[in-house]
Structures are given as C-alpha cells and as structure tokens.
Amino acid sequence: GSSPSPRPAAGCPQRRLGPRERRDLQREILAVLGLPGRPRLRAPPAAARLPASAPLFMLDLYHAMAGDDDEDGGPRERGLGRADLVMSFVNMVELDRALGHQEPHWKEFRFDLTQIPAGETVTAAEFRIYKLPSTHPLNRTLHVSVFEVVREQANRESDLFFLDLQTLRAEDEGWLVLDVTAASDRWLSNRNEDLGLRLYVETEDGRSVDPGLAGLLGRRAPRSKQPFMVTFFRESPNPTRVPR
C-alpha cells in the first residue's frame, strides 16, 4: 500500500531523554569540546582580566575563526590555516639587563608551557611585544632580534639560538611580531628545557640599545599592551581519547 508500515523502527532507536540523561549528555558534549570542568584559576575574575593583551588578541582570533566555522572548513579556511588549537601564554618571568651602561642590553621572557595537551604539533608560534615611539635613539633604524635560551651557564653568557630578526624605525608604534616557531617546537618535545626567549635591540652600526628605551614594553606596561606568546597547534591525526 501507499502508507508506511505500522511496525516500530528497527534501525535507529529514538526516545526522549530523562533529565539526568540530558545532564549527562550535556557533560559529554562539554567533554568533547575540551571543557571537562572548571579550572582552578589563580587570578581575579574574568572581568578584571579581559582587557589584557592576550585575551583581546585571542578574542579577535576567535571571531575570525567563528567566521570560518560557518563556511564548512576545509580548503576555504582563512587566517588560522590548519590550526586546531591556539594557546596564548602569559609572560611569567621577565629578566632585564638594561640597568646602567653594561652592554649588551637584553630582556628575557619566560612562559609556563606545562598546560599544553599531549598529541599536538606546533604549526607556528609568535612572540608579540608592543613598541611605543622612541626618541632615543632619534630617527634611527633598529634591529630587534629574538633568541631562544638553550643552556644557562654559571660563569658565562647563556647559550642562545637565533630565532628571528625584525627591522624597524625608532619612531614606529604597534605590535611587533617575532617568529618563535623553532623554539616552541623544541619546548614541546622537551618540556623541561623551556628556558625562555631573549630579546636584543641594536642600531644599524651594531650598538646595543636598552629595549625599554627603544620603546618595547614589558610586564609593567598597561595590561592591553603586555607581551605574550601565541602558539598554533595541529591535533595529531589519531588523538588519544580517554574511554568514557
């Protein structure tokens, strides 16, 4: 006949969920989203933290990514490339050798990378530091270079590994983005060897400049202009899932 059979569906079980099952299902969905529970935050509520530089940058990234999400993903993806996970790292420790006339001047930045989940591959990493216009040195070209601290030595300079160099004018203002992918990659494979990043500023004739005097802002800067690191990860093809 033209009407469907009155027999119950044999293939797909369909039933309403009870309130407890519904709650369990919500927990499962959150776990799938990587939100298994509330973290133990070490800082004041989000309202006080939101104007900080890293969350603001990440929120911009989220809006860009949300636009991509609506478009099925795949080859049309923009901006974030192949990244599944983006983490920003707050600068935990800042060391300075900019006091007095001792040269060369440098600034060192350290980050807590212990929270990176297993099974991720680094696709890119950036160190972002804000630069204000500087009148010292006046009308000069500056070279800003960043190094990974590979080994600390007791009685001499630390061993460094060159990562990136940017050339700019002393009067320039804005976010300076330095490529630190190589260091992030190494830190991910050897998590105990995270000794930080070291920043040098030089004039064209090779004279060392105090990064602070060159206009580069550190931890004492306004929250929206503090330096941070952002790392882009790609999930491994076969992520290990906890049985649930």
Partner 1 sequence: AVRSLRRRLPKKTNELPQPNKLPGIFDDIHGSHGRQVCRRHELYVSFQDLGWLDWVIAPQGYSAYYCEGECSFPLDSCMNATNHAIVQSLVHLMKPDAVPKACCAPTKLSATSVLYYDSSNNVILRKHRNMVVKACGCH
For residue 224, CA distances in Å to 26, 86, 91, 196 come to: 35, 19, 13, 22
Nearest distance from C-beta of residue 163 to partner 1, angstroms: 20
Nearer residue to partner 1 within complex by CB, 143 or 234: 234
For residue 185, CA distances in Å to 96, 104, 193, 225, 240 come to: 25, 28, 11, 26, 20
Nearest distance from C-beta of residue 7 to partner 1, angstroms: 6
Closest CA to 126 of 198, 219, 230: 230
Nearer residue to partner 1 within complex by CB, 161 or 175: 175
Nearer residue to partner 1 within complex by CB, 29 or 165: 29
Nearest distance from C-beta of residue 184 to partner 1, angstroms: 13
Nearer residue to partner 1 within complex by CB, 88 or 134: 88
- Enumerate binding residues for partner 1 (CB under 8 A): 2-5, 7, 9-12, 14, 22, 25-26, 29-30, 32-35, 38-43, 45-46, 49-50, 54-55, 58-59, 61-62, 65-66, 68-73, 80, 83-90, 112, 114-115
Nearer residue to partner 1 within complex by CB, 64 or 150: 64
Nearer residue to partner 1 within complex by CB, 22 or 136: 22
Nearest distance from C-beta of residue 169 to partner 1, angstroms: 31
CA 84 – CA 179 distance, rounded (Å): 19
Nearest distance from C-beta of residue 188 to partner 1, angstroms: 14
Nearer residue to partner 1 within complex by CB, 69 or 103: 69
- The encoded tokens of residue 26 equal 């919500």
Nearest distance from C-beta of residue 166 to partner 1, angstroms: 24
Nearest distance from C-beta of residue 92 to partner 1, angstroms: 8
